[in-house]
Structure 1
Amino acid sequence: MHKTEFKVRDYECDMQGIVNNAVYFNYLEHARHEFLASRQIDFAALAKAEVNLVVVRAELDYKASLTSGDQFYITTQYQPVSRLRFGFKQQVWRSRDQKLMLDAFITGTAVNASGKPFLPSELQLLLD
């Protein structure tokens, strides 16, 4: 399991003073990129090699709201889904009280230069 730490910035909050729901997608994506980097998988290098990792489904269960200045972390775990799809179990935890704020499952695949889904061997080997 990989852990990525964050702090809520003022501009990520809406008029209610809570983190806007769409901002969580950015948090989760950054944590997935950090997870990949921790396994020596360079997202940008893959894209240059015409291997595009894409999200095909996002399931987010909001449990509570983060507010400005909250420190939190995201745990990320890889979970195989099928021959061509992979998943990431991700959870957002508020640091001060270890409260679960969001529970998510993100499903992705890799798409080659012609737009066809595939799972490159380097991903399969590193993510198993």
Structure 2
Amino acid sequence: MSREYEFDLTVRYYETDGQGVVHHANYFKYFEIGRIEQLKATGYDYAEFERSGLMLVVSKISCKYHRPARFGDTLTISMRTERARGARIDHSYQVKRGGELIAEAQSTIACVDRNGHVQRIPEYLEIDE
């Protein structure tokens, strides 16, 4: 799997609150979009991954907000796979508007089977530190 992935996203109206600011929970959706698109860019389909009986679930996630983003802003979401080995994948993220840092985050994703039992990630997803 590729270590780095970046994409642009334009903030939609429904992602904002009454003050026109992106609601904090939407950043976690942006990060999920990034993880799925990163996998796709590497030549793998997440739906196919799930059909194989495995799932990638969020074990831990945190986000620090630096500046508000607003409706119509174009955000660049940059992510880096810090580690992907054993049963977990660690990512870091940055959200920027132009060169301005909007938010930064970290997540740990666990690989599990349909019964929720921890499983080793497939070899094609592995990245050493």
Fold equivalence (TM over 0.5): yes
Cα contact 2:79–2:91 (8 A) shared by 1: yes
Cα contact 1:110–1:120 (8 A) shared by 2: no
Q: CA deviation at 1:59?
A: 1.1
**Which shows bigger deviation, 53-62 or 110-119?**
110-119
The letter of the residue matching 2:123 is S
The letter of the residue matching 1:53 is L
TM-score with structure 2 setting the length: 0.89
Please give the alpha-carbon distance, in whole angstroms, between the structure 2 residues aligned to 1:110 and 1:83. 9
Q: CA deviation at 1:109?
A: 1.2
Q: CA deviation at 1:83?
A: 2.8
Cα contact 1:52–1:112 (8 A) shared by 2: yes
Percent identity reads 30
Q: CA deviation at 1:81?
A: 6.4
Please give the alpha-carbon distance, in whole angstroms, between the structure 2 residues aligned to 1:41 and 1:51. 13
Please give the alpha-carbon distance, in whole angstroms, between the structure 2 residues aligned to 1:81 and 1:121. 9
TM-score with structure 1 setting the length: 0.89
> What RMSD over aligned residues (CA atoms) do the two structures have, in Å?
1.5
Over 3 Å counting, the alpha-carbon distance change for 1:51 and 1:81 in structure 2 is: closer
Q: CA deviation digits over 1:93-123, x for unaligned, max 9?
A: 113xx10101000110111233211222232
Partner SS, residue 33 of structure 1? helix
Q: CA deviation at 1:85?
A: 1.4
Q: Where in structure 1 are there 5+ consecutive unaligned residues?
A: none
Which runs of structure 1 show a deviation greater than 3 angstroms over 4 or more consecutive aligned residues? none
The letter of the residue matching 1:100 is L
Q: CA deviation digits over 1:41-84, x for unaligned, max 9?
A: 21110111111011100010111110011011100111116632
1:122 aligns with 2:124: yes
Cα contact 1:28–1:90 (8 A) shared by 2: yes
Cα contact 1:60–1:103 (8 A) shared by 2: yes
Partner SS, residue 87 of structure 2? coil
Q: Which residue of 1 aligns with 2:37?
A: 34
Over 3 Å counting, the alpha-carbon distance change for 1:45 and 1:81 in structure 2 is: closer
1:92 aligns with 2:69: no
The letter of the residue matching 1:40 is G
The letter of the residue matching 1:32 is R
1:75 aligns with 2:83: no
Q: Where in structure 2 are there 5+ consecutive unaligned residues?
A: none
